[in-house]
Structure 1
Amino acid sequence: MQKKRGRRVLRWILGSIAVVLVLGIGGILVWSQVGVMAAEPEPLATVRENPDITVTDAPEGIVLAPADGDSEIGVVFIPGAKVDPWAYAAILQGLAEDGMTVVITRPWLNLAFFDLRGLDSFTSAAPDIDTWAVGGHSLGGVRACQLAADADALLLFGSYCATDVSDTDLAVLSIAGSEDGLSTPEKIADARHLLPADAELVEIPGASHASFGDYGPQAGDGTPTISDEEMHQTVTALVDAFAQESLAGR
């Protein structure tokens, strides 16, 4: 009798655990799909209509490349949490215009932490390119730090590392916004010790957290005073200069 009662109790416990796991997984799946910040249509239209680049919706991600096909540097870019990957196409198209190939990833469940794929899952979109930077915005930048060991450079947009890469020879460019209410300049400064000593840190006056993409205002963020056009141009110029100094000829 006691054995039967013990088996019933064990079945009840195991069943309860299974229910909790199913509900938890289901909750995560639902939450990951609710409130995804969509790409704004007007900036995205400029990308689709740009004659100087090609836009490919590839299995590896959204690929922006020079129209003439002449590209020696690639960038794998990881979106922020619950942000439509297309929202980064407009701010990154200038890099493709200037000769880089950009692969914007589609994180699993719209959250970079759940995406366990290695860097080669994305660089395979452009197998002829040997020099790669990995970067990301917000949570995407945190994930980029985890993949940086397989890259030549690291790009952080409104983000910072939780992984210590200070002892590596990575070339690093970290771009912050003075009005960022989420990855604040203070938070970025506090994580500075996790980057190499020669990492380049730049703060863009007037830029907010959402200034690094085109998906509209974001809860908890500051109010930007820089225009989208100026923001795009500034980011392109910073990354171009960084690439010429740190990546050209590798």
Structure 2
Amino acid sequence: MVATSQPALRRAGRIAVAVLVVFALVAVGFLVWANAVMMGDREAALHVWRDPRVSVRDVGDAVELAPTGHASGDGLVFIPGAKVDPYAYLYKLSATVAETGLTVLITKPTLNLAFFDQRPLSEFTRHVPEVQRWYVGGHSLGGVRACQLADDPAVSGLVLFGSYCANDLSKSHLRTLSISGTHDGLSTPEKIRDTRDLLPPDATMIAVPGMNHAQFGDYGPQPGDNPSAISDDRARAAVTASLESFFRP
């Protein structure tokens, strides 16, 4: 048996330490990147907080947006896009909540990335036990995760904001609404078209002319997106009209 020399052991030790340091730096860098979220527009969020028709409540792992008047009994678990602050979706969703009585839970994904969040739907729906019929939805990467959660037998329908499915739901009986933007540079019209066959045949497909990817929330420009050709107010009106038609009792 050949004994390992001391210099060789020292070299192996130095290599092991160097590898650990590299892994640690990568892990720290990833955590810093994941936690550098795209914050919501303050004025848009304040508008919702001041709206007497809706209430906002932080329930720990989600933000609840509820009507202060009659609740319809419908609820939507909504998953944000990658690294987008949950509060950035309050303004785009608030008018629908006020007009239809829908209750919305905007989740806080693990590490701000939906594909790391493997919590079941029941982890969120437990916050509002009075809801009778649940829908699941999301924006961008959050929509991809929503498609996975749509297999839950408690789910009645699916709502996609600038997103598409990676799993096949074409044989399901889910009520489905897909809202996309013709100027979306990330979930492009081509991607929406190419994945259409993964949705139920009777899915409602709405493409908003001039709307881009970031206009599904209120968090400012997003890298890789195209410039929008409509105002944020017009984008919100289009999203609200689509949601109200889908959720109106």
How many residues are matched? 244
Local SS of the residue matching 2:215: helix
1:22-81 superposed Cα distances (whole Å, 9 cap, x missing partner): 3333222121123x2111111111101000011101123110101025230000111111
1:160, CA displacement in angstroms?
0.7
- Once the two structures are superposed, the pairs formed by residues 1-40 of structure 1 within 5 Å of their partners are 2=2, 18-34=20-36, 36-40=37-41
Do the aligned residues in 2 keep the contact of 1:33 with 1:109 (CA within 8 Å)? yes
Local SS of the residue matching 1:143: helix
Local SS of the residue matching 1:149: coil
Do the aligned residues in 2 keep the contact of 1:80 with 1:136 (CA within 8 Å)? yes
State percent identity of aligned pairs: 49
Change (3 A) 1:39 1:10: same
Note if 1:161 corresponds to 2:162.
Answer: no
Q: Which blocks of at least 5 consecutive residues in structure 2 are unaligned? A: none
Do the aligned residues in 2 keep the contact of 1:66 with 1:101 (CA within 8 Å)? yes
Do the aligned residues in 1 keep the contact of 2:147 with 2:165 (CA within 8 Å)? yes
- Identify the residue that residue 143 of structure 2 maps to in structure 1: 141
Q: Which runs of 4+ in 1 moved over 2 A?
A: 1-5, 7-27, 68-71
Do the aligned residues in 2 keep the contact of 1:38 with 1:215 (CA within 8 Å)? yes
Note if 1:119 corresponds to 2:121.
Answer: yes
1:125-180 superposed Cα distances (whole Å, 9 cap, x missing partner): 21111211111111111111111112111111001111111121111111110111
- Identify the residue that residue 131 of structure 1 maps to in structure 2: 133
- Identify the residue that residue 82 of structure 1 maps to in structure 2: 83
Change (3 A) 1:4 1:242: same
- Identify the residue that residue 72 of structure 2 maps to in structure 1: 71
Change (3 A) 1:3 1:101: farther
1:221, CA displacement in angstroms?
1.2
The one-letter amino acid paired with 1:217 is P
- Once the two structures are superposed, the pairs formed by residues 180-199 of structure 1 within 5 Å of their partners are 180-199=184-203
Q: 2:177 aligns with which of 173, 178, 187?
A: 173
For residues 4 and 171 of structure 2, the distance between their equivalents in structure 1, rounded to whole angstroms, comes to: 59
Do the aligned residues in 2 keep the contact of 1:65 with 1:71 (CA within 8 Å)? no
**TM-score, scaled to structure 1:** 0.89
- Identify the residue that residue 93 of structure 1 maps to in structure 2: 94
The one-letter amino acid paired with 2:208 is I
**TM-score, scaled to structure 2:** 0.90
The one-letter amino acid paired with 1:206 is G
Q: Which blocks of at least 5 consecutive residues in structure 1 are unaligned? A: none
